[in-house]
């Protein structure tokens, strides 16, 4: 593997060659893989075969890529209903790894990988890191959680295969993270954006510098452009957005290149569609809707038309980086993270965007939903800077009103704003919990 990286087309890293395939070649590759994976799922996964037969479709029904639109969807409940191994398409002797993702309730969902699946996963993670400008010689602190969560091991093997030095520190223990960051000459970090905010804040308070840190690869939860600006300014780094989900592979489904204008999908392994979240109808490129993904090469657990619930749009225009892989817009919200307050639909991402506009706030916030006398209330709790908090009361009141105005402007609802002292809201080592719903079911 070469020791230099050039993001220009033609000057690409050998491992990234599939990123630059001419579209016609890529689509031919996709069709061949799609036909094979549909056949595999039909022959080996009873649930999928039953659904195909109910639609009078057979294993050879796919003649062209758009024919995929006629196939049945797979949803999260299918994984729960067949818990733990009901959707596996490989015998256990060929399954070399299991991961699991805990839902909000009950049993987790279980995902499986063959040796070949792990190789594909590693290869897309190598391409993801390369797209962030990382290469051999980089020292990558991997603060995604190791274990059943896919973030830790997914990023780990990708970074190792890239030829970088990996520090498998996992999540948590902020003091140790900061010591390692400085002492080991770390050049790149992987963690959730909310944990990065926490790390940077602690570093600043303890008077610890961030050494050689130059790049962050952040994902596993939605984060806004405002959050990116905050992280980049506070840490003096370049922040990339990485997307993925356990059901499809884990991290490495999509990544922002150096231009950071949408996430390139590794379309040679994951086939995207955008559908109307209500009707399931396939929408044209450019329209906002729910991302549906089909795995093109996954052996142990092929996913055909998996409804991610993540809302985005496919950006069909070519990217300045020269990759032919199409991009999706950053995922700001899920189709199911909306809540309704007094008849108004609210998304947490709207609240984050409004909060980060106000000077004096810190990107630590929580939305608390309560119900009193049958009426729903929403309170936004946000930390403010120490300087402002110790300021005279007038400053706080003015800020409170300003935030209430900003939230009202984007959400269309006047809500309570609680200004919290620094360090009083809970911190997360992994995915942040933004909404606390205290309403009775
Ligand atoms: O979060 C995999 C991952 C690990 C991705 C590390 C990136 C980095 P799950 O725990 O199964 O897998 O959660 C998947 O998290 O459907 C999205 O709703 C959300 N998500 C993941 N990445 C992003 C992102 C991992 N970059 C679910 N932006 C997905 C917004 C994201 N949401």
The answer to whether residues 417 and 380 touch, using CB atoms and an 8 Å cutoff, is yes
39-43, 52-56, 372-376, 409-413: range with lowest mean pLDDT: 372-376
Residues 269 and 389 reside in one and the same domain: no
Domain that residue 368 falls in: 338-437
Ligand 1 center from residue 298 Cα (angstroms): 19
Residues 223 and 331 reside in one and the same domain: yes
Residues 304 and 413 reside in one and the same domain: no
Per-residue pLDDT reduced to its tens digit, 123-181: 999 999 999 999 999 999 999 999 999 999 999 999 999 999 999 999 999 999 999 99
Q: How far apart are CA 208 and CA 270, in angstroms?
A: 41
Pocket probe for ligand 1: among 151, 188, 216, 219, the residue whose CB has the most ligand atoms within 8 Å is: 219
Q: What is the pLDDT of residue 1?
A: 39
Residues 149 and 217 reside in one and the same domain: yes
Query: Greater confidence, 372 or 24?
Result: 24
Ligand 1 center from residue 101 Cα (angstroms): 11
User: What DSSP letter does each residue of 314-340 carry, written as one string?
Assistant: EE-SPPTT---S-EE----EETT--EE
User: For residue 10, what pLDDT band results from cuts at 50, 70 and 90?
Assistant: very low
Ligand 1 center from residue 311 Cα (angstroms): 12
Residues with CB under 6 A from ligand 1: 101, 144, 150-151, 219-222, 241-246, 250-251, 308, 310, 331, 334
Q: What is the atom index within ligand 1 of the atom nearest the CA of 310? A: 18
380 burial (CB, 10 Å; 0-12 / 13-18 / 19+) is buried
Residues 145 and 13 reside in one and the same domain: yes
Query: Greater confidence, 102 or 65?
Result: 65
Q: Give the residue-averaged pLDDT of 182-208.
A: 95
Residues 330 and 364 reside in one and the same domain: no
User: For residue 6, what pLDDT band results from cuts at 50, 70 and 90?
Assistant: very low
Residue 65 clears pLDDT 90, i.e. is over it: yes
Task: Give whole-number Cα distances, 50 to 68, 116, 247, 279, 301, in Å.
Answer: 17, 27, 21, 22, 17
**Chain centroid to CA 202:** 24
Ligand 1 center from residue 242 Cα (angstroms): 8
Residue 319 maps to which CATH number?
3.40.50.12780
Residues 350 and 307 reside in one and the same domain: no
Residues 255 and 283 reside in one and the same domain: yes
Residue 423 maps to which CATH number?
3.30.300.30
User: What DSSP letter does each residue of 108-129 carry, written as one string?
Assistant: -EEEEEEHHHHHHHHHHHHHHH
Sort residue 89 into left (φ over 0), alpha (ψ -120 to 50) or beta: alpha
Whole-number average pLDDT of the chain: 92
Residues 353 and 275 reside in one and the same domain: no
Sign, CA torsion 217/221/225/226: negative
Per-residue pLDDT reduced to its tens digit, 349-403: 889 988 888 888 888 999 999 988 888 899 999 999 887 777 667 788 888 999 9
Above pLDDT 70, what percent of the chain?
Answer: 95
- Of 301, 320, 335, the one marking the end of a domain is 335
Q: Starting from the edge strand earliest in sequence, which strands make up the sheet with 270-275, in order? A: 270-275, 289-295, 306-312, 333-334
Residues 133 and 152 reside in one and the same domain: yes
Kindly report the pTM of this predicted structure: 0.92
Domain count, the chain: 2
- Of 311, 335, 359, the one marking the end of a domain is 335
Per-residue pLDDT reduced to its tens digit, 305-321: 999 999 999 999 999 99
Q: What is the pLDDT of residue 395?
A: 83
Residues 392 and 294 reside in one and the same domain: no
Q: How far apart are CA 68 and CA 61, in angstroms?
A: 9
Cis peptide before 104 (omega within 30 of 0): no
Q: Give the residue-averaged pLDDT of 50-76.
A: 96
Q: Give the residue-averaged pLDDT of 31-38.
A: 98
Q: What is the atom index within ligand 1 of the atom nearest the CA of 217? A: 8
- Of 283, 311, 335, the one marking the end of a domain is 335
65-79, 86-100, 190-204, 344-358: range with lowest mean pLDDT: 344-358
Residues 393 and 329 reside in one and the same domain: no
The answer to whether residues 396 and 429 touch, using CB atoms and an 8 Å cutoff, is no
Ligand 1 center from residue 246 Cα (angstroms): 8
Above pLDDT 90, what percent of the chain?
Answer: 80
């Amino acid at each position: 593997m070469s020791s230099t990286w050039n993001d220009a087309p033609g000057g690409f890293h050998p491992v990234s060659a599939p990123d630059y395939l001419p579209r016609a070649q890529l689509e031919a590759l996709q069709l061949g893989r799609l036909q094979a994976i549909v056949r595999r799922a039909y022959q080996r996964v009873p649930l999928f075969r039953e659904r195909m037969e109910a639609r009078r479709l057979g294993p050879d029904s796919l003649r062209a890529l758009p024919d995929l639109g006629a196939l049945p969807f797979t949803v999260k409940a299918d994984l729960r209903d067949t818990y733990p191994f009901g959707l596996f398409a490989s015998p256990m002797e060929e399954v070399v790894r299991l991961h699991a993702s805990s839902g909000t309730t009950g049993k987790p969902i279980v995902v499986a990988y063959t040796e070949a699946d792990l190789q594909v996963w590693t290869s897309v993670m190598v391409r993801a890191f390369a797209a962030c400008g990382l290469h051999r010689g980089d020292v990558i602190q991997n603060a995604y959680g190791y274990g059943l969560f896919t973030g830790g091991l997914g990023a780990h093997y990708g970074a190792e295969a890239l030829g970088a030095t990996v520090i498998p520190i996992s999540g948590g223990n902020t003091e140790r993270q900061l010591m390692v960051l400085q002492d080991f000459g770390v050049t790149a970090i992987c963690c959730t954006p909310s944990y990065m905010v926490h790390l940077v804040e602690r570093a600043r308070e303890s008077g610890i510098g961030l050494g050689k840190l130059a790049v962050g690869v952040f994902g596993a939860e939605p984060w806004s452009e405002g959050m990116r600006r905050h992280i980049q300014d506070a840490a003096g780094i370049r922040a990339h957005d990485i997307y993925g989900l356990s059901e499809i592979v884990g991290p490495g489904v999509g990544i922002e290149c150096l231009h950071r204008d949408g996430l390139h999908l590794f379309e040679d392994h994951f086939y995207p569609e955008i559908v109307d979240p209500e009707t399931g109808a396939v929408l044209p490129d450019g329209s906002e809707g729910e991302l549906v993904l089909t795995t093109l090469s996954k052996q142990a657990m092929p996913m055909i038309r998996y409804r991610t619930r993540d809302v985005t749009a496919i950006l069909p225009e070519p990217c300045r980086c020269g990759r032919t892989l199409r991009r999706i817009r950053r995922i700001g919200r899920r189709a199911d993270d909306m809540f309704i307050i007094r008849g108004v639909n609210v998304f947490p991402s709207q609240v984050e965007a409004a909060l980060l506009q106000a000077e004096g706030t810190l990107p630590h916030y929580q939305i608390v939903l309560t119900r009193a006398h049958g009426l729903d209330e929403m309170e936004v709790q946000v930390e403010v800077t120490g300087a402002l908090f110790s300021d005279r009361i007038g400053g706080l009141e003015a800020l409170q009103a300003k935030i209430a105005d900003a939230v009202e402007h984007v959400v269309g609802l006047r809500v309570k704003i609680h200004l919290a002292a620094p360090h009083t809201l809970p911190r997360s080592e992994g995915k942040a919990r933004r909404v606390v719903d205290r309403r009775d079911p």
